[in-house]
Amino acid sequence: MSAIARMVMQRFYRQAEGRPEKLPWHREEPDALLAKAVRARGARGRALDLGCGAGVYTVWLAQQAMEATGIDLFPEAIMMARARAKAADIAVELIAGDLFAFAPERTFDLVLDSGCLHSLVGGDVHTYKKRLCRWVVPGGDYILGHWGKRNAFDWRPIGPKRRSELTIQRMFAPEFELRETETVDFKTPLPFGPVVRGMGYWFTRSGS
Protein backbone atom coordinates (compact mmCIF):
# COMPACT_ATOMS: atom_id res chain seq x y z
CA MET A 1 0.00 0.00 0.00
CA SER A 2 1.36 3.42 -0.93
CA ALA A 3 1.97 6.09 1.68
CA ILE A 4 -0.93 8.17 0.35
CA ALA A 5 -3.34 5.21 0.41
CA ARG A 6 -2.26 4.38 3.96
CA MET A 7 -2.92 7.96 5.08
CA VAL A 8 -6.38 7.92 3.50
CA MET A 9 -7.30 4.66 5.24
CA GLN A 10 -6.00 5.89 8.59
CA ARG A 11 -8.09 9.02 8.21
CA PHE A 12 -11.22 6.95 7.60
CA TYR A 13 -10.61 4.92 10.76
CA ARG A 14 -9.79 7.94 12.91
CA GLN A 15 -12.86 9.83 11.70
CA ALA A 16 -15.02 6.79 12.55
CA GLU A 17 -13.98 7.17 16.21
CA GLY A 18 -14.43 3.48 16.91
CA ARG A 19 -17.84 3.27 15.26
CA PRO A 20 -17.81 0.81 12.32
CA GLU A 21 -21.07 2.19 10.89
CA LYS A 22 -19.27 5.44 10.12
CA LEU A 23 -16.82 3.71 7.77
CA PRO A 24 -17.86 4.37 4.14
CA TRP A 25 -17.64 0.68 3.16
CA HIS A 26 -19.46 -0.68 6.22
CA ARG A 27 -22.02 -3.45 5.68
CA GLU A 28 -23.60 -5.70 8.26
CA GLU A 29 -24.64 -8.59 6.03
CA PRO A 30 -22.16 -10.94 4.32
CA ASP A 31 -22.07 -11.11 0.54
CA ALA A 32 -24.19 -13.85 -1.00
CA LEU A 33 -21.18 -15.79 -2.31
CA LEU A 34 -19.54 -15.91 1.12
CA ALA A 35 -22.71 -17.21 2.73
CA LYS A 36 -23.12 -19.75 -0.07
CA ALA A 37 -19.53 -21.01 0.25
CA VAL A 38 -19.86 -21.37 4.02
CA ARG A 39 -23.09 -23.33 3.63
CA ALA A 40 -21.51 -25.54 0.97
CA ARG A 41 -18.78 -26.69 3.33
CA GLY A 42 -21.18 -27.16 6.21
CA ALA A 43 -19.77 -24.22 8.21
CA ARG A 44 -16.77 -26.32 9.19
CA GLY A 45 -13.05 -25.59 9.23
CA ARG A 46 -10.74 -22.63 9.58
CA ALA A 47 -11.42 -19.24 7.97
CA LEU A 48 -9.15 -16.25 7.36
CA ASP A 49 -10.48 -12.72 6.81
CA LEU A 50 -7.87 -10.60 4.99
CA GLY A 51 -8.09 -6.89 5.69
CA CYS A 52 -10.77 -7.68 8.23
CA GLY A 53 -11.43 -4.05 9.13
CA ALA A 54 -13.97 -3.74 11.94
CA GLY A 55 -14.36 -7.52 12.07
CA VAL A 56 -17.91 -7.77 10.77
CA TYR A 57 -17.20 -10.84 8.64
CA THR A 58 -14.62 -12.34 11.01
CA VAL A 59 -17.22 -12.42 13.76
CA TRP A 60 -19.91 -13.63 11.36
CA LEU A 61 -17.69 -16.54 10.28
CA ALA A 62 -17.15 -17.51 13.92
CA GLN A 63 -20.89 -17.32 14.52
CA GLN A 64 -21.29 -19.89 11.74
CA ALA A 65 -19.13 -22.24 13.84
CA MET A 66 -15.93 -21.71 11.87
CA GLU A 67 -12.58 -21.11 13.56
CA ALA A 68 -12.03 -17.53 12.40
CA THR A 69 -8.91 -15.36 12.12
CA GLY A 70 -8.88 -11.72 11.01
CA ILE A 71 -5.84 -9.69 10.04
CA ASP A 72 -5.60 -5.98 9.27
CA LEU A 73 -2.78 -3.50 8.81
CA PHE A 74 -4.46 -0.83 10.91
CA PRO A 75 -4.56 -1.10 14.72
CA GLU A 76 -7.69 1.08 14.77
CA ALA A 77 -9.48 -1.58 12.72
CA ILE A 78 -8.39 -4.38 15.04
CA MET A 79 -9.61 -2.41 18.06
CA MET A 80 -13.06 -2.17 16.42
CA ALA A 81 -12.96 -5.89 15.60
CA ARG A 82 -12.07 -6.83 19.18
CA ALA A 83 -14.93 -4.70 20.49
CA ARG A 84 -17.34 -6.38 18.09
CA ALA A 85 -16.20 -9.88 19.06
CA LYS A 86 -16.52 -9.02 22.76
CA ALA A 87 -20.02 -7.62 22.26
CA ALA A 88 -21.02 -10.78 20.41
CA ASP A 89 -19.35 -12.96 23.07
CA ILE A 90 -17.57 -14.90 20.34
CA ALA A 91 -13.97 -16.12 20.20
CA VAL A 92 -11.88 -15.04 17.20
CA GLU A 93 -8.18 -14.54 16.54
CA LEU A 94 -7.36 -10.97 15.53
CA ILE A 95 -3.95 -9.89 14.26
CA ALA A 96 -2.69 -6.35 13.69
CA GLY A 97 -0.09 -6.72 10.97
CA ASP A 98 0.92 -6.81 7.32
CA LEU A 99 -0.58 -9.71 5.39
CA PHE A 100 2.65 -10.03 3.40
CA ALA A 101 4.48 -10.93 6.61
CA PHE A 102 1.71 -13.25 7.84
CA ALA A 103 3.01 -16.83 8.16
CA PRO A 104 0.46 -18.94 10.07
CA GLU A 105 1.41 -22.39 11.29
CA ARG A 106 -1.80 -23.89 9.90
CA THR A 107 -3.63 -23.50 6.61
CA PHE A 108 -7.23 -22.40 6.06
CA ASP A 109 -10.30 -23.98 4.49
CA LEU A 110 -11.70 -20.61 3.47
CA VAL A 111 -10.04 -17.25 2.85
CA LEU A 112 -12.10 -14.08 2.45
CA ASP A 113 -10.84 -10.86 0.89
CA SER A 114 -13.55 -8.21 0.93
CA GLY A 115 -11.84 -5.19 -0.59
CA CYS A 116 -8.25 -5.87 0.46
CA LEU A 117 -6.67 -6.81 -2.88
CA HIS A 118 -8.11 -3.88 -4.78
CA SER A 119 -6.64 -1.52 -2.17
CA LEU A 120 -3.08 -2.77 -2.58
CA VAL A 121 -2.15 0.50 -4.26
CA GLY A 122 1.48 0.04 -5.28
CA GLY A 123 1.44 -3.40 -3.68
CA ASP A 124 2.75 -6.67 -4.98
CA VAL A 125 -0.07 -8.74 -6.47
CA HIS A 126 2.32 -11.57 -7.41
CA THR A 127 3.42 -11.96 -3.79
CA TYR A 128 -0.21 -11.75 -2.68
CA LYS A 129 -1.04 -14.76 -4.84
CA LYS A 130 1.97 -16.72 -3.58
CA ARG A 131 0.86 -16.10 -0.01
CA LEU A 132 -2.71 -17.07 -0.85
CA CYS A 133 -1.51 -20.37 -2.31
CA ARG A 134 0.20 -21.12 0.99
CA TRP A 135 -2.81 -20.21 3.09
CA VAL A 136 -5.61 -22.08 1.29
CA VAL A 137 -5.76 -25.88 1.50
CA PRO A 138 -6.30 -27.81 -1.75
CA GLY A 139 -10.03 -27.89 -2.31
CA GLY A 140 -10.47 -24.83 -0.09
CA ASP A 141 -12.43 -21.72 -0.98
CA TYR A 142 -11.28 -18.18 -1.77
CA ILE A 143 -13.93 -15.47 -1.76
CA LEU A 144 -12.90 -12.16 -3.29
CA GLY A 145 -14.73 -8.84 -3.29
CA HIS A 146 -13.17 -6.47 -5.82
CA TRP A 147 -14.15 -3.38 -7.79
CA GLY A 148 -14.87 -4.36 -11.37
CA LYS A 149 -14.11 -2.52 -14.59
CA ARG A 150 -17.34 -1.50 -16.29
CA ASN A 151 -15.63 -0.41 -19.53
CA ALA A 152 -12.23 0.60 -20.91
CA PHE A 153 -12.63 4.11 -19.54
CA ASP A 154 -13.68 3.03 -16.05
CA TRP A 155 -10.58 4.26 -14.22
CA ARG A 156 -9.72 6.71 -11.46
CA PRO A 157 -6.28 8.00 -10.38
CA ILE A 158 -7.13 7.36 -6.73
CA GLY A 159 -9.10 4.74 -4.87
CA PRO A 160 -9.35 0.97 -5.24
CA LYS A 161 -7.95 -0.67 -8.36
CA ARG A 162 -10.59 -1.72 -10.90
CA ARG A 163 -10.03 -4.97 -12.80
CA SER A 164 -12.15 -6.86 -15.31
CA GLU A 165 -13.53 -10.31 -14.57
CA LEU A 166 -11.21 -11.81 -17.19
CA THR A 167 -8.18 -10.13 -15.59
CA ILE A 168 -9.10 -11.50 -12.17
CA GLN A 169 -9.69 -14.99 -13.55
CA ARG A 170 -6.33 -15.02 -15.32
CA MET A 171 -4.58 -13.59 -12.28
CA PHE A 172 -5.45 -16.59 -10.12
CA ALA A 173 -5.30 -19.38 -12.71
CA PRO A 174 -4.39 -22.19 -12.70
CA GLU A 175 -4.10 -22.56 -8.93
CA PHE A 176 -7.63 -21.28 -8.33
CA GLU A 177 -10.66 -22.33 -10.38
CA LEU A 178 -13.51 -19.83 -10.68
CA ARG A 179 -16.81 -21.34 -9.55
CA GLU A 180 -19.20 -18.41 -9.47
CA THR A 181 -19.43 -14.62 -9.68
CA GLU A 182 -21.87 -11.92 -8.68
CA THR A 183 -22.13 -8.33 -9.90
CA VAL A 184 -23.67 -5.32 -8.18
CA ASP A 185 -23.47 -1.78 -9.56
CA PHE A 186 -23.89 0.91 -6.93
CA LYS A 187 -23.64 4.68 -6.61
CA THR A 188 -20.73 6.17 -4.71
CA PRO A 189 -19.52 9.76 -4.23
CA LEU A 190 -16.92 11.41 -6.43
CA PRO A 191 -14.02 11.08 -7.01
CA PHE A 192 -14.65 7.31 -6.89
CA GLY A 193 -18.07 7.34 -8.55
CA PRO A 194 -20.62 8.19 -9.64
CA VAL A 195 -21.13 4.47 -10.29
CA VAL A 196 -18.93 1.59 -9.20
CA ARG A 197 -19.17 -2.09 -10.11
CA GLY A 198 -18.79 -4.44 -7.20
CA MET A 199 -17.67 -7.94 -8.22
CA GLY A 200 -17.78 -11.05 -6.07
CA TYR A 201 -15.73 -14.13 -6.96
CA TRP A 202 -15.87 -17.65 -5.55
CA PHE A 203 -12.74 -19.63 -6.33
CA THR A 204 -11.73 -23.14 -5.31
CA ARG A 205 -8.09 -24.08 -4.76
CA SER A 206 -6.99 -26.70 -7.26
CA GLY A 207 -5.82 -30.08 -6.05
CA SER A 208 -7.14 -32.52 -3.51
Domain made up of 3-205: CATH architecture: 3-Layer(aba) Sandwich (3.40)
Binned at pLDDT 50, 70 and 90, residue 7 comes out as low
Burial string for 151-187 (b: 16+ CB within 10 Å, else e) reads eeeeeeeebbbbbbbeebbebbeebbebeebeeeeee
Q: Sort 122 into a burial class: Cβ within 10 Å, 0-12 / 13-18 / 19+.
A: exposed
Helix, strand and coil content of the chain, in percent to the nearest 5, comes to: 35, 30, 35
Extents of the domains making up the chain: 3-205
pTM of the model: 0.89
pLDDT for 163? 92
Q: What is d(CA 131, CA 128) in angstroms, rounded to the nearest whole number?
A: 5
Could you tell me which of 48, 190, 23, 54 has the C-alpha nearest to residue 113? 48
* Beta partners for residue 187, in sequence order: 195
Q: Inform me whether the pLDDT recorded for 65 exceeds 70.
A: yes
Binned at pLDDT 50, 70 and 90, residue 4 comes out as low
List, for residues 149-200, the tens digit of each pLDDT value. Answer: 988 888 887 778 889 999 999 999 999 999 999 998 888 777 777 888 889 9
Q: Inform me whether the pLDDT recorded for 2 exceeds 60.
A: no
Binned at pLDDT 50, 70 and 90, residue 23 comes out as low
List, for residues 188-202, the tens digit of each pLDDT value. Answer: 777 777 888 889 999
The answer to whether the CB of 24 falls within 8 A of the CB of 12 is: yes
